[in-house]
């Protein structure tokens, strides 16, 4: 029997506000700041303190919910989720439960089988926990807690179980991260843990619509872990059902080192958390005027930008998709195209130079596009030099390497190093004649029927032009000169 995976994703994204969700503590880079230097009595929920809702966090959350096509209920309520854990100083997390900020949205994702519609069940606001570091080696005899992250605004985005493979899950993650970046609410640096994925996974016989028991994989913070962990669970559960066993509902962790998932705890249920409306915060009323204002201020989103790139620049869906993933990359591309003279605009060529050669140089050197010494106008000029035949495409690659190392403009390098392609038709015709005349034996072989000698002549002419001859012009000149000999001409 064949099995199909059924997957719903919960994503936690920190919101890049200046201060925390309910107090004035600054939101800092948790990989940089000294531990516990940004925490206050409100973060710790000490008696006598009161939380205050961060308006910017609400604005950011609304941006995301609207970008994900959610409905915004006019009444929002914060709720206390009670549980004990050392990274949770209050003993409860302020979250949302029955009345979240956004419901019933959707996001379109790109898969190799075409675009897919993923329903979003809910988007709600909550606060992050602190961070634990376990130490003491094998014996694991101590843990350290850093509360800088406790209380940072966190958005939870939950899909319906509409995903069916590791590829789907990754495509959703990539698309969602792009949306968050475009909205300017999250930098998308997964290695810093600002986006964390939790796939809920079950499998069922292919063709059935039942929902079987699921497991939840906690806190994956790379696309690689997301894909590998998901695949592992699908394989594991399929094997259990095939062997006549029963999948247990539980929370599991992914061990990158061992390449497998491990049980963490039995599934807790909502009633275990004793949710109740947060008594220290008023309900949040999000009126139509506020929602309309946020909606009106939404920027162009990745999907719209991709469609525009396909339409206005004639790019393939794939190329457009690659270019729009990061706003800075898409901006760079558009600046480069705009820098070309309107009569010589070559959007496809610019895309090829950018995603081909420039990406290769960035990868090899480990540099980012922002730090690279090739500004958009230089890349555009290079593409124009090649497309107008001033230099060959091979010379272009060498020139780009020098541009990348020196930051200099391509036209200067071409002039200085005498790299311009030779396209002078009469000079090339004369050279073709001279080469043929100098090689009577090869000519005889050619005339006796060995057509491949023409390519050898091509190589000879190109060599004399130090590789800078225009290939089309050389080919035409040789073809004409050889044809004259075929017909017994001069
Ligand atoms: P909880 O809040 O307890 O984690 P939810 O019902 O909110 O549970 O579901 C969390 C996620 O699990 C959602 O993304 C949902 O689509 C997904 N999900 C629910 N049931 C299944 C199932 N049987 N198989 C796979 N995913 C599921
Ligand atoms: Mg869950
Ligand atoms: Zn604080």
Over residues 429-472, the pLDDT tens digits come to 999 999 999 999 999 999 999 999 999 999 999 888 878 888 88
Q: How far apart are the CA of 51 and the centre of ligand 3, in A?
A: 9
Nearest CA owner, ligand 1 atom 14: 8
- Whole-number Å distance, alpha carbon 260 to ligand 2 midpoint, is 20
| Residues whose CB is less than 8 angstroms from the CB of residue 199 and which lie 6 or more positions away in sequence, other chains included | 7, 8, 9, 10, 163, 169, 216, 217, 220, 226, 229, 230, 233
Mutate to test the pocket of ligand 1, among 106, 161, 267, 275 (most ligand atoms within 8 A of CB): 161
Question: What does the pLDDT look like over 179-190, one tens digit per residue?
Answer: 999 999 998 888
Q: How confident is the model at residue 426 (pLDDT cuts 50, 70, 90)?
A: confident
Kindly list the distances between the CA atom of residue 109 and the CA atoms of 71, 174, 337, 407, in Å, as whole numbers in the listed order.
20, 9, 27, 37
Matching residue, tokens 């230099």: 391
Nearest CA to ligand 1 atom 23: 211
Which atom of ligand 1 is closest in space to residue 212's alpha carbon? 23
DSSP state of 300: P
Direct distance between the N- and C-terminal alpha carbons of the chain, in angstroms, rounded to an integer: 77
User: What is the average per-residue pLDDT within 212-232?
Assistant: 95
Among 73-87, 116-130, 386-400, which stretch is predicted with the lowest mean pLDDT?
A: 386-400
Q: CB–CB of 477/428 below 8 Å?
A: yes
Q: Report CA(200)–ligand 1 centroid distance (Å).
A: 6
Q: Could you report the per-residue pLDDT of 13-32, keeping only the tens digit for each?
A: 999 999 999 999 999 987 88
| Residue tagged 């003491």 (tokens) | 136
Ligand that lies nearest to the alpha carbon of residue 208, given by its number in the listed order: 1
> How many angstroms is it from 208 CA to the middle of ligand 1?
18
Task: Tell me which residue has its CA closest to atom 15 in ligand 1.
Answer: 8
Note the pLDDT of residue 267. 67
Which residues are CB-contacts of 323 (< 8 A; sequence separation ≥ 6)? 306, 309, 315, 329, 330, 333, 351, 354, 355
Q: What pTM does this model have?
A: 0.84
**pLDDT tier at 367 (50, 70, 90 boundaries)?**
very high
Cα 269 to averaged position of ligand 1 atoms, centre (Å)? 12
Q: How confident is the model at residue 487 (pLDDT cuts 50, 70, 90)?
A: confident
pLDDT at 448: 93
Neighbours of 290 (CB within 10 A): 15
Residue 488 pLDDT > 70: no
Pocket test for ligand 1, best of 7, 8, 118, 119 (most atoms within 8 A of CB): 8
Write down the pLDDT at residue 471.
Answer: 86
Q: Using 50, 70 and 90 to split pLDDT, how confident is the model at 6? A: very high
| Nearest listed ligand to the Cα of residue 90 | 3
Q: pLDDT confidence of 96, banded at 50, 70, 90?
A: very high
Residue with structure tokens 């032009």?
465
Ligand 1 neighbours (beta carbon < 6 A)? 6-10, 158-161, 200-202, 211-212, 214
* pLDDT band at 3; cut points 50, 70, 90: very high
Q: What is the structure's pLDDT at 140?
A: 73
Average pLDDT, the chain: 93
More confident residue, 317 or 23: 23
Whether 163 shows a pLDDT value over 80: the answer reads yes
Q: Write the DSSP assignment of 233-277 as a string of letters.
A: HHHHHHHHHHTT-----EEEEEETTTTEEEEEEEPP-GGGGT-EE
**pLDDT > 90: what percent of the chain?**
81
Assign 421 a pLDDT band (cuts: 50, 70, 90). confident
**In the block, residue with structure tokens 């002549």:** 457
Ion ligand 3: residues, Cβ under 5 Å: 23, 25, 40, 42-43
Residue 212: pLDDT over 60: yes
**128 Cα to the center of ligand 3, angstroms:** 12
Q: What ligand is nearest to the CA atom of residue 213?
A: 1
In the prediction, which pLDDT does 135 show? 84
Separation between Cα atoms, residue 336 and residue 317, nearest integer Å: 19
What spacing in Å lies between the alpha carbon of 347 and ligand 2's midpoint?
45
Q: Which residue do the tokens 């029997």 mark? A: 1
Q: 87 alpha carbon to ligand 3 midpoint, in Å? A: 14
């Amino acid at each position: 029997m064949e099995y199909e995976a059924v997957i719903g994703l919960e994503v936690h994204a920190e919101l890049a506000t200046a201060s925390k969700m309910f107090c004035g503590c600054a939101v800092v880079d948790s990989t940089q700041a000294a531990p516990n230097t940004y925490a206050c009595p409100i973060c710790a929920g000490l008696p006598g303190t009161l939380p205050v809702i961060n308006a910017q966090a609400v604005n950011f959350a609304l941006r995301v919910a609207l970008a994900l096509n959610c409905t915004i209920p006019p009444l929002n309520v914060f709720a206390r989720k009670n549980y004990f854990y050392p990274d949770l100083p209050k003993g409860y997390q302020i979250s949302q439960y029955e009345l979240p900020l956004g419901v019933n949205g959707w996001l379109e994702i790109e898969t190799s089988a075409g675009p897919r519609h993923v329903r979003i069940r809910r988007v709600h606001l909550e606060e992050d926990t602190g961070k634990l570091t376990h130490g003491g080696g094998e014996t694991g005899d101590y843990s350290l807690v850093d509360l800088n992250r406790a209380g940072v605004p966190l958005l939870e985005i939950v899909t319906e179980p509409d995903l069916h493979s590791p590829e789907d899950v990754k495509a959703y993650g990539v698309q969602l991260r792009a949306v968050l970046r475009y909205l300017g609410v999250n930098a998308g640096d997964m290695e810093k843990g600002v986006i964390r994925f939790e796939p809920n996974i079950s499998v069922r016989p292919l063709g059935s619509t039942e929902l079987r028991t699921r497991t939840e994989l906690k806190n994956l913070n790379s696309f690689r872990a997301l894909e590998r962990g998901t695949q592992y669970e699908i394989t594991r559960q399929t094997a259990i059902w095939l062997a006549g066993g029963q999948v247990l509902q539980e929370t599991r962790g992914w061990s990158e080192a061992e390449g497998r998932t491990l049980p963490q705890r039995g599934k807790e249920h909502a009633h275990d958390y004793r949710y109740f409306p947060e008594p220290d915060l008023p309900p949040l009323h999000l009126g139509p005027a506020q929602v309309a204002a946020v909606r009106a201020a939404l920027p162009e989103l990745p999907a719209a930008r991709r469609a525009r790139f396909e339409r206005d620049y004639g790019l393939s869906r794939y190329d457009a998709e690659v270019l729009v993933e990061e706003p800075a990359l898409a901006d760079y591309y558009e600046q480069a195209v705009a820098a070309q003279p309107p009569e010589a605009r070559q959007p496809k060529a610019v895309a090829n130079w950018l995603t081909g050669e420039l990406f290769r140089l960035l990868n090899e050197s480990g540099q980012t596009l922002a730090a690279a010494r090739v500004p958009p106008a230089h890349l555009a000029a290079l593409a124009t030099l090649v497309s107008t035949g001033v230099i060959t495409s091979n010379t272009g690659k060498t020139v780009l390497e020098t541009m990348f190392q020196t930051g200099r403009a391509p036209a200067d390098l071409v002039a200085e190093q005498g790299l311009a392609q030779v396209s002078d038709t009469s000079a090339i015709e004369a050279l073709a004649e001279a080469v043929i005349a100098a090689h009577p034996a090869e000519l005889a072989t050619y005339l006796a029927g060995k057509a491949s000698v023409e390519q050898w002549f091509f190589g000879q002419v190109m060599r004399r032009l130090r590789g800078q001859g225009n290939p089309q012009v050389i080919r035409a000149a040789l073809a004409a000169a050889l044809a004259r000999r075929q017909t017994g001409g001069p």
